[in-house]
Amino acid sequence: MSFRPVSAATLALAFAVMALTPAAAQDDSGAIKALILPMMSEVAPGPAAEIFTDCIIAEAQPAEIAALAAASGPSVEVGQLINTVLARPETLACAANKAQ
């Protein structure tokens, strides 16, 4: 069995996830939206960016919300997390329902 050291960033994120309660995550929804919306606006301009942003927040798992809340700004990791949530059928269904 090989042992792979854990980075300080991974540990910090793990502690942030453990410390963030669902209520605290909800309080951060404005900050999370401010993080996601500009990134979504680059690929889905106009009202679609807002719809996708809302659906990403609605469909993200608690650990994903915690990771987004802990993010200091846009990054490759945040983009990957957004793509992961966006690729879920539930997120796409949410966006389709809101677009009608």
Contact 60, 97 (CB under 8 A): no
Task: Say what the pTM is.
Answer: 0.73
| Per-residue pLDDT reduced to its tens digit, 1-23 | 343 444 444 434 444 444 444 44
Look at residue 25 and tell me if it is in a domain: yes
Say if 3 falls within a structural domain: no
* Residue 26, domain member (yes or no): yes
In a domain, 21, yes or no: yes
Number of structural domains in the chain: 1
As a whole number, mean pLDDT of residues 39-66 equals 95
Interatomic CA distance for residues 22 and 40, integer angstroms: 24
Query: Does residue 95 sit within a domain?
Result: yes
Interatomic CA distance for residues 83 and 77, integer angstroms: 10
pLDDT at 95: 94
In a domain, 1, yes or no: no
Domain of residue 57 covers: 8-99
Looking at the domain assignment, is residue 59 inside a domain?
A: yes
